[in-house]
Chain A
Amino acid sequence: MSNSDLTRIFAISTPGDGAAVETSSATSRRTFIKISGAGLVLGLMPLPEVAGLGGAAEAAATSLAPNPFLVIAPDDTVTVIIKHLDKGQGAATGLASLAAEELDADWSQIRTVFAPADATKYKNLEFGVQGVGGSNGLSNSYSQYREAGATARAMLVSAAASAWKVPAAEITVKAGKLAHSSGKSASFGEMAQAAAIVAVPKSVKLKDAKDFVFIGKSFPRVDSVAKSNGTAKYTIDQQMDGMLVAVIARPPKFGATVKSVDASATEKIAGVVRVITIPQGVAVLAKSTWPAIKGREALKIVWDESKAETRGTAEIFAEYRAALDKPGLPVRAEGDAAAAMAKAAKVVSVDFEFPYLAHATMEPMNAVVRFNGTKAEIWTGSQLQTVDQGVAAAILGIKPENVSLTTLWAGGSFGRRAVPDAHFVAEACMIAKAYGQPVPIKTIWTREDDIKGGYYRPAYLHRIKAGLDAAGKIIAWRHVIVGQSIIAGTPFEAMAVKDGIDLSSVEGANNLPYAIPNFKLELTTTKIGVPVLWWRSVGSTHTAHATEHMIDILAREAGRDPLMFRMDLLAKHPRHAEALKLAAFKAGWDAPLPAGRFRGMALHESFKSYVAQVAEISLKDGGGFKVERVVCAVDCGIAVNPDVVVAQMEGGIGYGLGAAMKGAITLKGGAVEQSNFDDYEVLRMSEMPRIEVHIVPSTAPPQASGSPVHRRSCRPSPTRFWPRRAFERLRCR
């Protein structure tokens, strides 16, 4: 599918005019008006049709649903409709807490369900389409969900005021209860029906930060129980009557296509139902998962590799190295780096290699599709609902509004489920269309599909050359980055590629905070036939590592303490400086270490959050090292739920550390050399450092990475005091 197709799809499915949208959706949805009878429903919007909102239609006449974001039912539950995917970052908990805050609900009455794909109601206010990325799930919704709660609260108060014949201003709301000094009181549930006929207020006043009861406090996640007793349902768990399971035999090299298939052995396997060739490969449909997997093994496929990528990692890096010597596109330039370098007392040049990385989400990709020729239903852990819905519609030849998409809990994403080409939904739709019968088909990826399947963090090569003056001050910095663009050629290109520069290739390097008078950053974008994608913290996965490592090298060359070396360069960046000071203080930067322990630090800004870390390592007998302890300070604006922020930092540190120390995707002759967790290794329990997270107090709005969606890679982790072996290993990664 071409880019313009996608752009068109976006345009169709994201009307900007809210009023027009409501009119059109009223015809296709069961509305509140139809259920409860006109005349009662001044200003009410259609009750959101949401999977999992049990009995919504029946309850509608007595429920309060003043906006698409929450429903207050007579049983006193408050169901918050979550517009973003929750892949572990806590979106459901975070968004629910925003509504609960302004509603003054009791946390125990809060339920959550995922919103259907419907950009008219649920678009990301920063993207214009429904979806979440760049860790902006909370920041784009911060006012929206608070207003949704405040609106419902105002209606409840107004209903109570009428019922009790007292002034609204005299009514208090606390922990899900309305009360008046006369002794009258009511639960939200008791007042819901009366509140449903109150006119929706045009504007509402939001609380002062000092009055928050949830925001900034730690309160339990909404999903802890269901996820620890096996009842939370993920896409792979969908079991429906007549459902088929499909797995796809994928080409051994990216870009290869099917030349011929011999499915005779496959078709003999009990449970195999059909073999279908689609552009992505050969799909085996079976009555359950195991025959589908067995059936795939039995296929004999001849691949056409004439258009396939055949370069291996060695060839790719050889080309990248050659590119380092040619001028790249200028990204940022200040002063005259070349002239200053010529005058430097000491010049250091270091190359940093970064391999392709698979996200290896715990739940591999999958989607369930049921298509009856005119309408489609999709169930998946969708991160870009509007894209998935639009691509599905284009493939199935129907309008996006005829594709209903239900978002389910997702077993991790780290960016993997936000795919601009919607490929894993697309292939499931192609299979459903080709199969031609209205049965649900669950297309699943095995771990081998996942590790070999591309959409990797791109490989990059960096060269940083820096000059110090006689006093050990950095006077020149020339940084060259070579690698693939994640965003060029996708519908997000107009947003994030400027003058040929994919901002995601250089983020973290182009906003280096240190005061360096002569600075030059260049980018060379390469074309390799390996599909690439954003991977937790995106550009910072490599830029933070390269720049912070270099700063450490320069501090050592200058004979300076890495903390003070950095602090001296941060006068104009107080948020960086505060985070760094806090991490250093909490880590006991000056305290002596036991023998065999070493300490280092790193500092980085990503998605407008500021993170500093101090790590301690020990040497292992027989070589190698272990990261023993990481002390992390983070400034992410208001931490809506500090404990979720802490959890995200812990997870991000582990995820980054695993990548820095273990995982790498390599290619030989175009074929990926790894296939599962035995050869694409990830961090395990015994390798997880002790982690302490400290949040810099803030009243700034939650930043792009605001709490629940906070993610950070620990790739930049400390190097300064690491012994040479460790140091070399990290550098050559």
Chain B
Amino acid sequence: MPTIITVNGERRSLDADPETPLLWVLRDELELTGTKFGCGIAQCGACTVHVKGEPQRSCQITLKDAAGLEITTIEGLSGKVAEAVRKAWASLDVVQCGYCQSGQVMAAVALLQAKPKPTDADIDTAFDGNICRCNTYTRIRAGVHAGSKMLGG
């Protein structure tokens, strides 16, 4: 029986094994490859999506569990906060290899939505689950603060 999930506002019907992690459903079935694989065990945050605006690790949600959830991926991210974060990321040239950055941007948007004026400690907490092997942490931090400023924070 197909599983129905809602991704970026669209209802999608999927025949994949219901135990398949959402990560691979997004990437392989829906070709939404902006969501990245980094570890598969909830350690790196490269696979971060939003479920009702909350950052979640898509490698840890099965297709079965995703049924009925409203999922937003980096491709579907929109709104004022997302725009501010993208602007901040571009103006500070946060990215290096870029592979972790979908996850970082998802984490940044979720943080600023929940806390428009995050402190450095808030940033530490929000981002400690998002590994960047290029160690762009300095600029991610600056990017979050810059995004916050743009939003009037």
A496 CB to closest chain B CB (Å) equals 26
| Interface check B4, CB cutoff 8 A | no
| Interface check B67, CB cutoff 8 A | no
Q: Mark A219-241, 1 if CB is under 8 A from B, else 0.
A: 01101111111111110110100
B43 CB to closest chain A CB (Å) equals 4
* Stretch of A144-152, A308-316, A584-592, A684-692 with 4 or more beta carbons under 8 angstroms from chain B: A684-692
* Residue from the set B86, B96, B97 with the largest chain A CB neighbour count within 10 Å: B97
A537 CB to closest chain B CB (Å) equals 14
A426 CB to closest chain B CB (Å) equals 22
Segment 122-149 of B: residues with Cβ below 8 Å from A: 123-125, 127-141
B39 CB to closest chain A CB (Å) equals 5
Contacts of B75 in A (CB 8 A): 229-231
A55 CA to B37 CA, complexed, in Å:
32
Q: Are B99 and A685 in contact (CB under 8 A)?
A: no
A360 CA to B16 CA, complexed, in Å:
30
| Interface check A658, CB cutoff 8 A | yes
Q: Are A362 and B100 in contact (CB under 8 A)?
A: yes
A658 CA to B40 CA, complexed, in Å:
21
Q: Are B41 and A676 in contact (CB under 8 A)?
A: yes
Q: Are A89 and B98 in contact (CB under 8 A)?
A: no
| Interface check A42, CB cutoff 8 A | no
Q: Are A691 and B98 in contact (CB under 8 A)?
A: no
Nearest A residue to B44 via CB reads A677
Q: Are A683 and B97 in contact (CB under 8 A)?
A: no
Q: A230-B73, A363-B99 are in contact. Are A447 and B38 (CB under 8 A)?
A: yes
Nearest A residue to B35 via CB reads A230
Q: Are A234 and B28 in contact (CB under 8 A)?
A: no
Q: Are A288 and B97 in contact (CB under 8 A)?
A: no
Q: Are B136 and A225 in contact (CB under 8 A)?
A: no
Residue in B20, B77, B91, B96 whose CB lies within 8 Å of A290: B20
Contacts of A412 in B (CB 8 A): 96-97, 99, 133-134
* Residue from the set A226, A361, A362 with the largest chain B CB neighbour count within 10 Å: A362
Residue in A232, A650, A652 whose CB lies within 8 Å of B139: A650
Q: Are B93 and A221 in contact (CB under 8 A)?
A: yes
Nearest B residue to A243 via CB reads B28
Contacts of A236 in B (CB 8 A): 33, 36-37
Segment 51-84 of B: residues with Cβ below 8 Å from A: 73-75, 77
Q: Are A363 and B39 in contact (CB under 8 A)?
A: no
A361 CA to B37 CA, complexed, in Å:
12
Q: Are B74 and A655 in contact (CB under 8 A)?
A: no
| Interface check B150, CB cutoff 8 A | no
Q: Are B131 and A682 in contact (CB under 8 A)?
A: yes
| Interface check A410, CB cutoff 8 A | yes
Q: Mark A159-192, 1 if CB is under 8 A from B, else 0.
A: 0000000000000000000000000000000000
Segment 554-604 of A: residues with Cβ below 8 Å from B: none
Contacts of A237 in B (CB 8 A): 27, 33
| Interface check A508, CB cutoff 8 A | no
Q: Mark A39-60, 1 if CB is under 8 A from B, else 0.
A: 0000000000000000000000
A163 CB to closest chain B CB (Å) equals 37
Q: Are A220 and B90 in contact (CB under 8 A)?
A: yes
A268 CB to closest chain B CB (Å) equals 13
| Interface check A678, CB cutoff 8 A | yes
Nearest A residue to B135 via CB reads A654
Contacts of B86 in A (CB 8 A): 225, 228-229
Contacts of B35 in A (CB 8 A): 230
Q: A234-B99, A237-B33, A363-B99 are in contact. Are A447 and B135 (CB under 8 A)?
A: no
A48 CA to B19 CA, complexed, in Å:
46
A683 CA to B134 CA, complexed, in Å:
10
Segment 19-49 of B: residues with Cβ below 8 Å from A: 20-21, 24, 27-29, 31-41, 43-44, 46
- 18 contacting pairs across A/B (C-beta < 8 A): A88-B95, A224-B89, A228-B85, A228-B105, A230-B102, A233-B33, A237-B27, A239-B31, A362-B133, A363-B36, A363-B97, A409-B97, A412-B134, A413-B97, A651-B96, A654-B137, A677-B38, A690-B138
